[in-house]
Amino acid sequence: MSSSAPLAGLTLDELRDRLVALGEPPYRAKQIFQAVQQRGVLDPREMTTLPLELRERLAEEISPATELVEVQTSEDGTTKFLFGLHDGKRIESVLIPEDGRNTICVSSQVGCPIRCVFCASGVEGLIRNLDVAEIAEQVLRVRAHLGERPSHIVMMGMGEPLLNIENVIAAIRLWTDKDGLGFSPRRITVSTAGTPSKVDRLAESGLGVHIAISLHAPDDETRARLVPGSPGGRTRALVEAGARYARKTGRDVTVEYVLMAGENDAPEHADALAALTAGRHIHVNLIPLNPVSHRPDLKAPSGLAATGFLRRLQQQGVSATLRTQRGEDIAAACGQLALERALED
């Protein structure tokens, strides 16, 4: 831990060590931790429970990891938060109010190496991993902006969370800390296009979060075309890792499948997907493609075709639903972040 590491990335123990090193009493650590992690107060000058001198000292030494640059709200209430990072890079989070929930969609990397054909985040490849504070602060800043805690967290923003797994796990430990936001792991979803061994690593972490596997194809050939940045030949292994995760955690796993006309929406695709997922504590979430400007050739199937695909899965014993998209007018559908802004800059 560097002496100027942002507060939002520190555990209570790390913060205590840091304060002791500064010659401060250890009990201050909890006051600071709670201000940061519970209320999203990231500027030490605003930590009114601390003596003025300590506030100033901390403010001089420590800067937050992120700066809130812009907030944009779409007609359906979806709100996009744009953050600046210390190296000038940008990331985004989205807040999606729906069915009495307030879900925040969080980024884990700048850019993404997976390059799903339909996804804006992967167009420029991976730029870098986010550190713990950069991940954690997205939720804290949105919490401060809202005046209350979001109800759910999904790691479906920019990036592939399992390729930055240790920082993602550390951020989740902060969000679930009872002296922090006190999030239930059941209300946190890690979404991954996947590496089976990393899914196992997440199971071993004991966090008990929900996982979503971005499959998008039921066989290796189709998947290599639609998810080119993911190592090939692992479609089945990925679903099996998901099934192991479900067994180990006792929690159903979601498989996400973006439906694209003529790409992965044929009856044979539905049958192959059913063969992979039925009877394994896997729920399939079908998502009609939200059009993206970099691939105008890709189209969502008709409503009838999408419903037909859904029925075909259900008839084969698969638990499945068809999702509707949100935030399209500000390109803030979860998982579609940041490219447009990056191109404007």
Does 287 interact with ligand SAH (rule: CB under 6 A)? yes
Site string for ligand SAH, 154-173 (x = CB under 6 A): --x---x-------------
Single out the residue of 209, 326, 336, 339 in contact with ligand SAH (rule: CB under 6 A): 336
String marking each residue 114-153 x if it binds ligand SAH according to CB under 6 A: x---xx----------------------------------
Q: Which two tokens stand for residue 87?
A: 């190296």
Active site residue 53: no
- Ramachandran sector of residue 276 (left: φ over 0; alpha: ψ -120 to 50; beta: rest): alpha
What is the C-alpha separation between 228 and 103, in angstroms, rounded?
29
Note whether 265 binds ligand SAH by CB under 6 A: no
Which residues from 288-327 bind ligand SAH, rule CB under 6 A?
289-290, 292
Q: Which helix (H) or strand (E) holds 110?
A: strand 109-111
Which residue lies nearest ligand SAH, judged by its C-beta? 335
Q: Which lies closer to ligand SAH via its Cβ, residue 8 or residue 193?
A: 193
Q: In the complex, what is the shortest distance from the CB of residue 287 to ligand SAH, in angstroms, rounded to a whole number?
A: 5
Q: Say how many Å lie between the first and final Cα of the chain, rounded.
A: 32
Q: State the alpha helices, DSSP H only, in the chain.
A: 12-21, 28-39, 52-61, 132-146, 165-176, 196-204, 220-226, 235-249, 267-277, 303-315, 339-344
Q: Which is nearer to ligand SAH, 41 or 158 (CB)?
A: 158
Distance (Å, rounded) from C-alpha 193 to C-alpha 278? 20
Q: Are 341 and 92 in contact (CB under 8 A)?
A: yes
User: Residues touching ligand SAH: how many (CB under 6 A)?
Assistant: 20
Catalytic residue among 24, 92, 134, 256: 92
Q: Which of these segments, 4-12, 202-210, 235-243, 284-292, binds ligand SAH (CB under 6 A)? A: 284-292
Helix (H, G, I), strand (E, B) or coil at 204: helix
Sequence-separated (6 or more) residues with CB below 8 Å from residue 295: 117, 118
Q: Least CB distance from residue 322 to ligand SAH, whole Å?
A: 12
Binding mask 200-239 for ligand SAH (x = CB under 6 A): --------------x-------------------------
* Dihedral, CA of residue 139, residue 145, residue 151 and residue 152, to nearest 10: -30
Told to judge if 334 belongs to the known catalytic residues of this protein, a careful annotator would answer yes
Known catalytic residues are 92, 334
Residue ranges that bind ligand SAH, judged by CB under 6 A: 112, 114, 118-119, 156, 160, 191-193, 214, 256, 258, 287, 289-290, 292, 333-336
